[in-house]
Amino acid sequence: MEEIRLNKYLASCGICSRRDADKLIDDGRVTVNGEVAKAGQKVTSADKVSVDGKAVEQNSSKVVIAYNKPRGVVVTERDEHAKVTIRDVIDYPVRLTYAGRLDKDSEGLILLTNDGDFINAAMKARNYHEKEYIVTVDKEVTDEELDTLRNGVYLKELDVTTRSCKVERIGKCKYRVVLSQGLNRQIRRMFQAIGRSVVKLKRIRVITVELGDLKVGEYRELTSAEMTKLYDSVGLDY
């Protein structure tokens, strides 16, 4: 039986990304054969792995769903301060984990999956995967300010300059923004840097998957054709 690192095993079970798995292990929430797991530990399919006392096992089939997140839902595994988390609103027979976040005050497309390899591939910033948003702000943005947003904005709070991106005016105070990175509250911080406040933010595309006419609060499984296209776009076989 092949040994694999525990964080990779947890990701393959759809529990979380490898990075988040490392935190679960560090926090003592993972056990292997009844013993608290250690960082860097390896396991085989014969080992009994549990998270928070619940047994987990590798998935036999890959699932990705598209969910139209309403405002107010917090995209997190567990948060004692959140009134409503994504775990509270998604009722699916297989445990799924989000591939990328969307802040509480934003709405729109979230992908959830039981495939940790997909989560890793989709969330790596160096892969430049696109996410598309419709953004409404409180005051119109000038052409010069649009060029500033497109070319990269220095975010003082994060001490980083954003990557170049696509920004298109589609209304007096409404803009289409396409990013290839996912900094914390990035779009809100970018517009704040030019003196605007975001009134509404809606994500309408993640990589190759579009929100389409999916209603707020509803989800759907991706079709086989969508899965093949999505996996191909992140360099994985489906």
Residue positions annotated with a catalytic role = 103
Q: Which two tokens stand for residue 154?
A: 């220095």
Q: In this structure, are residues 63 and 221 in contact, taking their beta carbons and an 8 Å threshold? A: yes
CB within 8 Å of 106: residues ≥ 6 apart: 69, 71, 201, 202, 203
Q: In this structure, are residues 232 and 225 in contact, taking their beta carbons and an 8 Å threshold? A: no
CB-side neighbour CA atoms (13 Å) of 127: 16
Cα angle 104-168-166, degrees, rounded to a multiple of 5: 75
- Amino acid at residue number 71: R
Sheet with 35-36, edge to edge strand ranges: 35-36, 30-32, 49-51, 54-56
Question: What is the phi-psi region of residue 14: left when phi exceeds 0, alpha when psi lies from -120 to 50, beta otherwise?
Answer: left
Q: How far apart are CA 144 and CA 129, in angstroms?
A: 26
Which residues lie across from 125 on neighbouring strands?
none
- Greatest CA separation for the chain: 61
Q: Which two tokens stand for residue 113?
A: 């999956």
